[in-house]
Structure 1
Amino acid sequence: MVSDRGGKYGFVYRSRFKTYRALRRKGLTKQRAAEISNAGRSFPQRSLMARKAARTRQARGRKRH
């Protein structure tokens, strides 16, 4: 588990650790997975990220399956 100590030991909120592990399984680096999982700590933050991702997909011309 990523430590709560922070610094070189890393830091991910306990409530977001499942998300962190899922991102790591997808092949993201520890740093990138931690950035994404920590960014979505609250529901409004996650909603904001979802909307941004949808706009990105739309701009790149990808269809939703």
Structure 2
Amino acid sequence: MPCENIKVQCSCTFPGCPRKGNCCECVAYHRKKKQVTACFFSPEAESSYDRSVTNLARDHRLL
């Protein structure tokens, strides 16, 4: 079944990202790399492009 979850307001700020706005492709890509997608981060943390779980925990003040 093809992914039809196209998100209009994508929070990714990575220039030229080919997955921008396509949540299914984005999640699959980052999951394969053991990373988290941009939409889980605050704007400040997202702009660091550090998609690690550790950075997510730090961003949500769990560390």
Q: What's the TM-score once normalised by structure 2's chain length? A: 0.29
Work out which structure has the larger RCO, using CA pairs closer than 8 Å and 6 or more positions apart in sequence.
2
Greater gyration radius: 1
Q: What's the TM-score once normalised by structure 1's chain length? A: 0.29
